[in-house]
Amino acid sequence: MTGTDNRRAPLAPAAVLAALALLPLVTSSYTLAVLIDVYIFAVFALSYNLLLGYTGVLSFGHALFFGLGAYSMAIPLVRLSWPMWQAVAVGLGLSVAAALILGGLSLRVRGVYFTMVTLAFAEIAHVLAIKLSRFTGGEDGITRIPVPAFLNDRVNFYYFALALLAFVYAGMRVLVASPFGRTLVAIRENEVRAAMLGYNVFAHKLAAMIIAGAVATVSGMVNALFFSYVSPAALSIFTTIDVLLMTIVGGVGTLVGPILGAGVVQALNTFLSTIFRHWLLVFGLIYVLIVMFLPKGIIGTVTELWERRRVPRAAAGTQTLSGARRGPAEG
């Protein structure tokens, strides 16, 4: 990357953020609602990408943290009449505790065994959310979750969700560029070699799970506030599959990819469901086509094509410069 590219790199997210901040001036309330939903799930996808894309672990239980956030916001506010800051503090505390328990057990195994352990924990939470109806509302869930006055306005909620996404994106960008983030990538690429170099693989994976879980919990809290509703579906395997699709479609191991993937998946869900009766079949076909023709996701594939285009240009420039230097000497 050249010096000009380095200077321009931070400007692109800032320009996109500025453009998104102007949308409430030119779009409808319905469109803002769709975008808020996208931003919430983009935060969720960024948290999942930290595990899958940068640490190399495939979890089928990430919905556990999303649902935990939603219920930790709903139960204290509706059932116990707590102030919101207490609900947020308890939710984050429970998230850390859940990550320590889940990670302490699941990270001691690898591959499909890790995936099945995480799925089992999420399904246990899903069943508990249904059975403990006195607190959770059972299959009906919890409705009429009180929202702070300043978030009752759709535009204000839009800016709140956008600010949250920008903050999480910036935080993830700093994290993956740090020594900790580079160690996670080393573990993803070759776990045995990282261990031989002296890195505590288990501790790094556990820390990544705690961070990812906390971010997912926050996204679940905001989702509960936005819809003023939470149900056991927030803890289901389908919620994890949704965020997995977002990460893969956008580009695993990239920062922009999960955000773009959340936008594509949520937009397709909204658009296709209004046109086709069996829209899930159409969505499945589109997903298969994306995987076939964009195997590294949208961002990953575009980046690879761009790099292929740059290399011949750079080589041609080097040859031209080398020829210019040899010319006078040979003459």
CB 165 within 8 A of CB 42: yes
Q: What are phi and psi of 26, to 5 degrees?
A: -130, 5
- pLDDT single digits (tens) 264-289: 998 888 888 778 777 778 888 888 88
Residues 6 or more apart from 164 whose CB is under 8 A from it? 39, 43, 218, 222
CB 126 within 8 A of CB 132: no
CATH number of 20-277: 1.10.3470
Is the overall model pTM greater than 0.85, yes or no?
yes
Q: For the chain, what is the mean pLDDT? A: 89
- pLDDT single digits (tens) 156-185: 999 999 999 999 999 999 999 999 999 999
**Alpha carbon of 268 to those of 23, 234, 302: distances in Å?**
20, 20, 20
- pLDDT single digits (tens) 208-219: 999 999 999 999
pLDDT at residue 3, as a whole number: 44
* 80 pLDDT higher than 50: yes
Neighbours of 179 (CB within 10 A): 7
- pLDDT single digits (tens) 83-95: 999 999 999 999 9
| Percentages (nearest 5) of helix, strand, coil residues in the chain | 80, 0, 15
Question: In angstroms, how far apart are the furthest CA atoms of the chain?
Answer: 92
Band (190; pLDDT cuts 50, 70, 90): very high
Per-domain boundaries in the chain: 20-277
d(CA 271, CA 186): 40
Band (147; pLDDT cuts 50, 70, 90): very high
Comparing C-alpha atoms, which of 124, 73, 123 is closest to residue 94?
Answer: 73
